[in-house]
Amino acid sequence: MGHHGERQMKVQAVIAFGLLACILYGLGAGLRSDIGILLMPLAAHCGIAYEDVSFCIAVMQIVFGATQPFFGILAMCRSNRFVLFLGAVLLGLSVVGMIEATSFWQLMLALGILFGGGAGALSFGLILTSAIYFVGKRNAMIISGMLNAAAGMIGFILSPVLQFLISSFGLIPALTFLLIPIAVLVPVLWVVTSRDPAKADIEEADAKDQDTSLSSLFQAFHNRTFLLLIAGFSTCGFHMVIIESHLFSQFVFYGIDGGDASWAFSVYGIATILGALASGYVSSLLPKGWILGFLYGFRAVWVAAYLFLMPKTVLTAVLFATGLGFTGDATVSPTAGLVNEHFSIRQVATLMGFLFLCHQVGAFCSAWFGGILFTATGNYTAIWLIDIALCLFASIMSWRIQPLRRVKETDVSLQEK
């Protein structure tokens, strides 16, 4: 077999592996993004108030973010495979718990704790690091874009399926159906982690990559690039949950028909898929700090243009949703790429977990403040003005991230002095 044939087989193997990794991450993320479809049916099933189920979902979002650093550390001590398998088990127990729940506290355990923990274990960072072990760092950004696109694609597909099952057969059959894709996660994660190094046989390029102590992780909080990433990614959560929680209602508030608003919102979902794929590709070519600076800055300009310049019609709602979608998940790939460049591969999952924790804190504040400010002012302008300011701040912080070559040159010059 010639060199061209070997290369073609290698590319095919990377694509096949990437698709399996996408199934693993996409199912976990897709289930989490579509959980709102179950809100009203769960309230009726458990005999509790709508706001109580909403609170369980809010707790789930916080648990999802808070458990990721813990699961990253656990993966360093055990293995990615162990943690990902634990995540699939927790999701399965969560679905069974929701089927059996008849009270607020039972639903809180099933939906808030078990589901949040399961989603946290099936985290982007862990699946990305397993992918890097398989495809190499050179292809990491392509896989990163594919993972984010898969989350949007599977969520987009799963949403009408769940809605159909609930409306046709009821909540219990719909929840039982969810056990099938969760069961599929087990053989998929086994393949995805097939090239993870054994704990006692880590083959890394340098000694730094073998340092998996907690002290080495906390040193990241003295790293300039990581601190700038925290500043930007925290605002990302604030921005995204305004869209997920309030954008549909805002379109209706502007007098747009509910059906048209729903269509515009679906366009947003498609645009996030395209934006994630494009970001993964571009992140392999350009300095990632520049990409983040542009994405956060574009968000601020785009929101301001819609609020103050565009007429509030169906067409502009679709345009606004499209622009938001292209930048929605696009920040994850360059963020993950910078973490991968500056830190050991064994640390990536935990440090990405810390970033997603900050992301979810911003998300919690956005969901909460959005409702408070709308009640106080009667419109959505105030929450978007805060978002514009935060996006501008994130853009400035991201432009300050130096390309890795310049960082190394600076370190050498300081040592010479």
pLDDT digits (tens, 9 = 90+) for 264-286: 877 887 888 889 889 888 988 88
The percent of residues above 90 in pLDDT, for the chain, comes to 26
The pLDDT, as a whole number, for residue 31 is: 80
Same domain assignment for residues 128 and 74: yes
The pLDDT, as a whole number, for residue 409 is: 44
Same domain assignment for residues 189 and 220: no
Query: Domain for residue 198, yes or no?
Result: no
- CA–CA gap between residue 323 and residue 344 (Å, rounded): 34
Same domain assignment for residues 267 and 364: yes
- CA–CA gap between residue 200 and residue 350 (Å, rounded): 19
The percent of residues above 70 in pLDDT, for the chain, comes to 88
The pLDDT, as a whole number, for residue 204 is: 45
Query: Domain for residue 211, yes or no?
Result: no
- Average pLDDT of the segment spanning 298-319: 92
Query: Domain for residue 4, yes or no?
Result: no
Same domain assignment for residues 117 and 228: no
Query: Domain for residue 203, yes or no?
Result: no
Same domain assignment for residues 223 and 293: yes
DSSP code, position 330:
T
The pLDDT, as a whole number, for residue 13 is: 63
Same domain assignment for residues 322 and 375: yes
Domain count, the chain: 2
* Residue found by looking up tokens 């959505």 in the block: 380
Query: Domain for residue 80, yes or no?
Result: yes
Query: Domain for residue 417, yes or no?
Result: no
Same domain assignment for residues 74 and 154: yes
Same domain assignment for residues 159 and 292: no
Q: Which residues contact 75 (CB under 8 A, 6 or more apart)?
A: 82, 83, 126, 349, 350
Query: Domain for residue 141, yes or no?
Result: yes
Quick one: pLDDT band at residue 87, thresholds 50, 70, 90?
A: very high
Which of 158, 193, 228 is the last residue before a domain boundary?
A: 193
Same domain assignment for residues 296 and 353: yes
Task: Kindly report the pTM of this predicted structure.
Answer: 0.76
What is the domain-level CATH number for residue 167? 1.20.1250.20
Range of the structural domain that residue 345 is part of: 216-411
Q: Which residues contact 221 (CB under 8 A, 6 or more apart)?
A: 227
How many H-runs (helices) and E-runs (strands) does the chain carry? 19, 0
Same domain assignment for residues 99 and 228: no
- CA–CA gap between residue 111 and residue 59 (Å, rounded): 9
- CA–CA gap between residue 343 and residue 93 (Å, rounded): 34
DSSP code, position 200:
T
Residue-wise pLDDT for 210-265, tens only, equals 445 556 667 778 888 999 999 999 899 889 878 876 787 788 888 888 778 777 87
